[in-house]
Amino acid sequence: MANPTATPALTRITPRNAAKKAGSARSASLNFRSPLTYLDTLPRWARRTLGPIVLLALWWTLSASGILHDNVLAGPPAIAKAAWELAESGDLLNAIVVSLHRVLIGLSLGALVGTSLAILSGLFRLGEDLIDAPMQMLRTIPHIALIPLLIIWFGIGETPKIGLIALASAFPLYLNVYAGIRQADTGLIEAGRTLDLSRITLIRLVILPGALPNFLVGLRYALGASWLALVFGEQINATAGIGYLLSNARELFQTDVIVVCLIIYALLGLAADLIVRLLERVLLSWRPSFTGT
């Protein structure tokens, strides 16, 4: 017969036991660290390169195991070999020089036209009435659709390629510089007027410097648009350039060369973006709120 006064086998919960359990649970939670916590201790450059390294390792593994066939996408060793052969023969360097030459000329023309039209449209009411509406209509036309007209007008030489790049780069600069001029600090403008600054001096010292950040943002967009236009432009009967290598590799189903060309496009675009970031740090150092982008 059971003793009614006997203590049950279950552990009796007391305030002291509860405090001990809470303390042990708290210490266990403090000792446990998520893998993401360890990533926070790495330098920023290491965290930024971790993602590409993981993707490269996964790509290499799938290629080496045969899951990803070379006819679909060549593996990193085959791509490295193709890049070495192109560099050793001089074809890669020649293609890069030709493509850079086209982008620099086209971007320079586009920047000149787009920035000039934005200044006229942003500073003068008559310029806005005459320029802004046609620019807003033209920017909605796909640049690729203009290739047949460019070929008819300028033939199949270098002119349509450079013209396509210039068109692609002009509109981002126009839109951003126009917005920068229209969003000029009215307080600074009023301060300049109280100091009896002439209109030209006000434009030179207040309005245009205030639009400089927008110009650099537009330049970054224009660079991206220039590389995209270059890819299509070099399909127009090109005999040299990265797009020429890409077209030949496509005809011969050389996925390794295709990936090499894509990597070169990406690296050139990254280098151009880094140059613009450097320009931002130099040209915008006068802004107290500037921290770099």
* More confident of the two residues 251 and 2: 251
Per-residue pLDDT reduced to its tens digit, 28-38: 444 545 555 66
Residue 47 has pLDDT above 70, yes or no: no
160-190 pLDDT, tens digit per residue, is: 888 888 988 889 999 898 888 887 767 776 7
pLDDT tens digit sequence for 252-290: 777 888 888 888 888 888 888 888 888 878 777 766 555
Q: Flag whether pLDDT at 25 surpasses 80.
A: no
Euclidean distance between CA atoms 255 and 72, whole angstroms = 7
Q: Percentage of residues in the chain with pLDDT exceeding 70?
A: 76
Tell whether the model's pLDDT for residue 62 goes beyond 60: yes
Cα first-last separation, the chain: 81
Alpha carbon 176 to chain centroid distance? 16
Is pLDDT at 105 greater than 50 in this prediction?
A: yes
Quote the CA–CA distance of 83 and 261 in Å, as a whole number. 9
Q: What is the mean pLDDT of the chain?
A: 76
Distance CA 214, CA 184 (A): 11
3-class secondary-structure state, position 211: helix
User: What is the rounded CA–CA span in Å between residue 102 and residue 161?
Assistant: 7
Arithmetic mean of pLDDT, 115-141: 84
Give the DSSP letter string of 173-200.
HHHHHHHHHHT--HHHHHHHHHTT--HH
**Does domain 95-252 sit in CATH 1.10.3720.10?**
yes
